[in-house]
Amino acid sequence: MKILPTSIGLALWLAAPLTALPQGTPLFRDADLALGEKLILENKCSACHARKVGGDGSAIYRPKGRINNAGALRGMVEYCNTELGLSLFPEEVTAMAAVLDRDHYHFESRPR
Ligand code: HEC
C-alpha cells in the first residue's frame, strides 16, 4: 500500500498522546471542564462541524467511529485546533477533549 502524507499525519496524531502518558493514567482526570466549555464556544468548533454534518454540528462526534479512546479524542481536538491555526496550551486541548468526552464520547467520564 502506498503511504500517503495524510496517513502519516493520522498515525502521528493517533500515536502522540499514547506515547506521552504512562498506560492507565486517566487523561481527563484533572481537566478544567469550565475552561474547556469556554474554549469550545469561543473557537466556533460547532460552526465548522455544522457545515459538514448539519444541525448543531454535534453529529460529527461519533463515539463508535474512528475516535475510540481518550487519547485519540484528544489527538483529534489537537488536529482541529491546528487546522484553525490556534496555538493552545496542552492543558487547554485536554480541557476541550474532556468536555467532549463528558458530553459525547464517555471514554473516561460515565454518563450521569
Ligand atoms: C475548519 C473546520 C473545523 C473546525 C473549525 C473544527 N473542526 Fe473538528 N472536525 C472537522 C472535520 C471536517 C471533522 C471530521 C473529520 C473526518 O471525519 O474526517 C472534524 C472532526 C472532529 C472530531 C472527531 C469526531 C469523530 O468522532 O470522528 C473532534 C473531536 C473535533 N472535530 C473537535 C473539534 C474541536 C474541539 C474544535 C474547536 C477547537 C474543532 N473540532 C473545530 C472540522 C473542523
Query: Can you tell me the mean pLDDT for 50-75?
Result: 94
What ligand 1 atom has the least distance to the C-alpha of 63? 26
Protein residue whose Cα sits closest to atom 24 of ligand 1: 61
**How large is the average pLDDT for residues 58-71?**
94
Q: Which residue's CA is the nearest one to ligand 1's atom 7?
A: 80
Average pLDDT taken over every residue of the chain: 84
- Residues with a CB atom less than 6 Å from ligand 1: 40, 43, 45, 48-49, 52, 60-62, 65-67, 73, 76-77, 80-81, 83-84, 96, 100
Which pLDDT score, from 0 to 100, does residue 104 have? 95
State yes or no: pLDDT of 59 exceeds 70: yes
How far apart (Å, rounded) are the C-alpha atoms in residues 33 and 58?
Answer: 18
d(CA 79, CA 84): 9
The confidence score (pLDDT) of residue 3 equals: 56
pTM of the model: 0.81
**For residue range 28-58, what is the model confidence (pLDDT) as tens digits?**
999 999 999 999 999 989 998 999 999 999 9
As a whole number of angstroms, the distance between CA 50 and CA 58 comes to 7
Side chain identity at residue 89, one-letter code: F
Domain parsing of the chain, residue ranges:
30-105
Average of pLDDT values for 2-22? 53
- pLDDT, position 83: 85
